[in-house]
Structure 1
Amino acid sequence: MTEIFDAIKHAAIGISRAIVNADTGATSHTNATGDTQLKLDVLSDHIIEEAFASVTSVQAIISEEKEVQTPLHVKGRYIVGYDPLDGSSLVDVNLSVGSIFGIYEGGISGANLKAAVYVVYGPRVELVIAHEDVRLYRLTPEGAFAFVRTLTLNPKGKLNAPGGTQQHWPAHHKAMIGGLFAQGYRLRYSGGMVPDLHQILLKGGGLFSYPATSDVPKGKLRMVFEVFPFAFVYTLAGGEAIDGNVPLLSLTPSHAHDTTPCFFGSREEIATVRATYANH
């Protein structure tokens, strides 16, 4: 597992440099789920693929930017599913973006996730590894990732990051979000999954939600590349992650690019979600 983490660190440094210097324009292509690919998406995907090419424990990789798996090493134990540059459309307005990695053994289901890593590219480059616990690292001027601290979630938080277009929210979800704000929760939503979930984790707790909506009834976020890795992080940090009713890590996609509604947060916020969605 260490060589996988080292490959991710190496790729993260390359991507951080690309964000600063590379072209942020769009390509003429779309990815497997129909999103327009930016040049940075493609470049980041290439950087990650190169980083894993020599990691013999990795059997295959599968990217949000590709339709099928890329085989690497026949005798490898792990499959790495990743989003090379989540929130890439925010780069041109200079907001934080990130990379997300899930390390699977025995197939790409929530139950088969063995570790998760994400990287935040912002004023500082930070990396979080969830394996035996959840650890925060920060890129130093010398080009190494230094350990900062172990991360845990409080039983109750104060931040609320509600995703999706509000006019498409179901009534019960809208009422739940309004109820949280009425209790004094603070709105924190950038449009980037990585920085928003990172903020909730570092600030001790709260709720990130992306529900089923009338325009995306199966949710927008992808299980293998985005949802499962963060569900693993939040669960290991002492929080919970559900689809509204069941734990996200109990789900199995029928296709690598399947999506799901998702809620990540502290235990009290997730209890509120369960109560809201119990009859829906």
Structure 2
Amino acid sequence: MTDIFDAIQRTAKRIKKAIDVKDIGYSQQANSSGETQLQLDIQCDMIIEEEFSQVPSIHTIASEEKEKEVLLCETGKYFIAYDPLDGSSLVDVNLSVGSIFGIYEGAFEAKKMVASCYVVFGPRVEMVFAHNKTKLHLLQGEDFVFVKEIRLNNKGNINAPGGTQQNWEPYHKEMVDNFFAEGYRLRYSGGMVPDLHQILLKGGGLFSYPNTSDRPKGKLRKLFEVFPFAFAFKKAGGEATDGEFDLMELECFGIHETSQCFFGSKYEIKKVREVYANNR
């Protein structure tokens, strides 16, 4: 696992340099979801593949920017799914973006996840690695240094609701409004990594991305986004659900399969489950 951790640190430093360029224009290509890719998306994807190809313990990789899996080393045991640059459309307005990694042993299945990691590229470059615990690291000069273990409180005060409101189910909107009525603060940038990072570092809250009328099976991808953050939240003492089941109990039948998802402290996820149980 150390060799993978080191490789992710190398990718983070290279991606940080890639972000600091003048031209981040769109390419003529589209990713697996049909979204036009930024040149930066493609470059970050190449950086990660280059670094992972040097790690013999990595068997196969899957990227949000690639249609299919890529075999790297037949004798490796780890399967890594990653989103090279989540929120890349925010780069041109200088908001935080990030990279997400799900590390699986033997196959791309939630029950086989052994670690997850994400990197936040903001005013500072921070990396959160979840294995036995969820730990925060900070890039200082050329090295990442350990800062602290992340632990969530039982209840938070941040509400980060994803998706377009006009496409929400009425009961979901009522739930979101009820959290605001309790005094929760709206914190939503449009980037999954910075929004979930804020909830983790501020001690709790709720990030929600429900099924919507325009995306009836959710928007966020299980292998690249949902499972990695579910793993990190649970290791930090929080919870993650699809409204009914623990996200880490879900099966995945394709590398780009999506799911509605909710991440937060125990209090908020309990509320989510109650609301969704009454509206199945």
TM-score, normalised via structure 1 length = 0.99
What pairs up with 1:51-90 in 2 under 5 angstroms? 51-90=51-90
The answer on whether the counterparts of 1:22 and 1:40 sit within 8 Å (CA) in structure 2 is: no
Amino acid at match of 2:18: A
Q: Which runs of 5+ in 1 are unaligned?
A: none
- Of residues 221-230 and 30-39 in structure 1, the stretch that sits farther from structure 2 once superposed is 30-39
Aligned length in residues: 279
1:24 positional shift: 1.0
Alignment partner, residue 146 of structure 1: 145
Matched, 1:208 2:215: no
How far apart are the structure 2 equivalents of 1:276 and 1:238?
A: 22
Which residue in the other structure is 1:171 paired with?
170
Query: RMSD of aligned C-alpha atoms?
Result: 0.7
For residues 109-120 of structure 1, the aligned pairs below 5 Å read 109-120=109-120
Greater alpha carbon shift after TM alignment, 106-115 vs 151-160: 106-115
**What amino acid is aligned across from residue 215 of structure 1 in structure 2?**
D
Which of structure 1's runs of 4+ aligned residues deviate more than 3 A?
none
TM-score by length of structure 2 reads 0.99
Matched to 2:106, the amino acid is: G
Aligned pairs (5 A) from 1:261-276: 261-276=260-275
Counterpart in the other structure of 1:245: 244
Greater shift in the superposed pair: 29-38 or 114-123: 29-38
1:189 touches 1:196 (CA, 8 Å); kept in 2?
A: yes
SS at match of 2:15: helix
In 1: Cα distance, 2:184 partner to 2:9 partner: 34
Is it true that 1:103 corresponds to 2:87 in the alignment?
A: no
CA contact (8 A) 1:24 1:92 kept: yes
In the other structure, the counterpart of 1:225 is: 224
Instruction: Give, as a single letter, the amino acid of the residue that structure 2 aligns with 1:13.
Output: K
| Matched-pair contact (CA < 8 Å) for 1:108–1:252 | no
2:189 maps to 190
1:23-62 correspondence runs (5 A) = 23-62=23-62
Determine the C-alpha separation between the residues in 1 that align with 2:131 and 2:86: 21
Q: Which amino acid aligns with 2:153?
A: N
Residue aligning to 1:126 = 126
CA distance in 1, matches of 2:77, 2:22: 34
SS class of match (1:21): coil
The one-character-per-residue Cα deviations of 1:125-157 (angstroms, maximum 9, x if unpaired) are: 00000001011000002x100000000100000
SS at match of 2:20: helix
Deviation at 1:22, TM superposition (A): 5.7
